[in-house]
Amino acid sequence: MAQVQSIVDELEIYKTELSHELSRILDYWIKYTIDEKNGGFVGRIDSEEHVVEGSPKGSVLNARILWSFSAAYNLDQNKDYLKYAERAYQYITNHFIDKEHGGVYWTVDYKGNPLDTKKQVYAIAFTIYALSEYYIASGNKEAKTLSVLFYHTLLKHSYDTVKTGYFEAFTHDWQPISDLRLSAKDANEKKTMNTHLHVMEAYTNLYRIWPDDGLKVQIITLINNFTDHIIDSETNHLVLFFDENWNRKSTTVSYGHDIEATWLLQEAAIVINDQPLIDKIKQLNIGITEATIKGLDTDGGLWYEYEPASNHLIKEKHWWPQAEAMIGFYNTWQITGDDNHLHLSKKNWEFVKGHILDTKNGEWVWGINDKGELMPDEDKVGLWKCPYHNSRACIEIISRISG
């Protein structure tokens, strides 16, 4: 009984700290990122806390802002959070949605005019994810209608009816495009783990508000894409890039994506209430978690990537893999009852507190390099630096401890 009580006490401390941290994260976005001049939220704040005037505004960033404030409101009913979710929703619907061809633009300029008009499936998935969460928060029927519309848009233009899965990107009017990449570091391939993970995540959230039979089939198919193609059964790591026929095109290990996939796959199976699939995914999760542990430093931080071919470990520790490690290890503790997994989650949080939290201004820094120094020239707010991973880690663990 004493050991059980000790764990209960530890969890209450964990919950209290993360509740405080969630407030700090969102307070930062309220205090520093509102664009009073041009509407919505600023496009970029650099590592020195300077707003970079004239920066483009990204669809992924804005969708993640919408999700974060909506999910935080759904957690604790703070009306300020709903107000800023509404601000994000209005900006997305007024500026990012392509009303002629469907989907969302990748970026708009600082005044809200279309800039990079390509259709990146990843960005549309995040918009579905955010709109669904906003509907739960607000009851706004237009948000639900839009999220369902974007789902049908992806099925029409991106879904591979022959091999299954989703093609990566298109021109503004859904024609083939030569550069499919999300970012310069990515391989230029037609199917990616990253996009499939977040399409699944989006569809899972959509199913919560719209339990459609066809949508359920798509979620099952996406889970099967992971079990059949994306999860390497020999290494228990995720394969990152594929051609249109699901032939592997990379060997890079992304520890953050590995641990993120464990709990997102499980959540998808739970939401559609498929018990055999839940049981299967839980077992897979244990193996993936053990493989991810190899990417942990002794300080509890999770390294970025590993290149098996050259035996090269990229010893950077970015903010988002830490957030996913906190949830993923906690989730595996719930599966196994092995307190070591809980310890890994909490130790990772201790690493975050010591190295990633910006205790002066709020929010989390981009990360630290292999020397343990802050990574220079990386955004505090930007196309990729957002409140989604870290606020979600807080929300998920708070909810699980409360439950």
Instruction: Tell the burial category of 121 from Cβ atoms under 10 Å away from its Cβ (0-12, 13-18, 19+).
Output: buried
CA distance 71 to 81: 9
Number of H helices, E strands in the chain: 12, 11
Contacts of 252 (CB under 8 A, 6+ apart): 240, 305, 306, 307
CATH of residue 175's domain is 1.50.10.10
Domain tally, the chain = 1
CA distance 159 to 150: 12
At residue 5, the pLDDT reads 81
Centre a 10 Å sphere on the Cβ of residue 209 and count the other Cβ atoms it contains: 15
- With H, G, I as helix, E, B as strand and everything else as coil, classify residue 254: strand
CA 193 to chain centre: 13
Instruction: Find the helix packing angle between 141-157 and 193-209, rounded to 10°.
Output: 140
Per-residue pLDDT tens digits for 166-183: 999 999 999 999 999 999
At residue 256, the pLDDT reads 98
Per-residue pLDDT tens digits for 51-70: 999 999 999 999 999 999 99
- Domain span at residue 123? 2-402
Instruction: Tell the burial category of 64 from Cβ atoms under 10 Å away from its Cβ (0-12, 13-18, 19+).
Output: buried
The answer to whether 398 and 36 have CB atoms below 8 angstroms apart is no
Q: Which residues of 365-395 are buried (b: 16+ CB within 10 A; e: fewer)?
A: bbbbeeeeeeeeebbbbbbbbbbbbbbbbbb
- With H, G, I as helix, E, B as strand and everything else as coil, classify residue 68: helix
In which residue ranges of the chain is pLDDT below 50? none
At residue 193, the pLDDT reads 98
Q: Which residues of 352-362 are buried (b: 16+ CB within 10 A; e: fewer)?
A: beebbbbeeeb
The strand pair at 241-242 and 253-254 is best described as unpaired
The residue length of the chain stands at 403
CA distance 103 to 96: 8
At residue 4, the pLDDT reads 76
At residue 2, the pLDDT reads 65
At residue 1, the pLDDT reads 65
At residue 289, the pLDDT reads 98
At residue 3, the pLDDT reads 74
At residue 343, the pLDDT reads 98
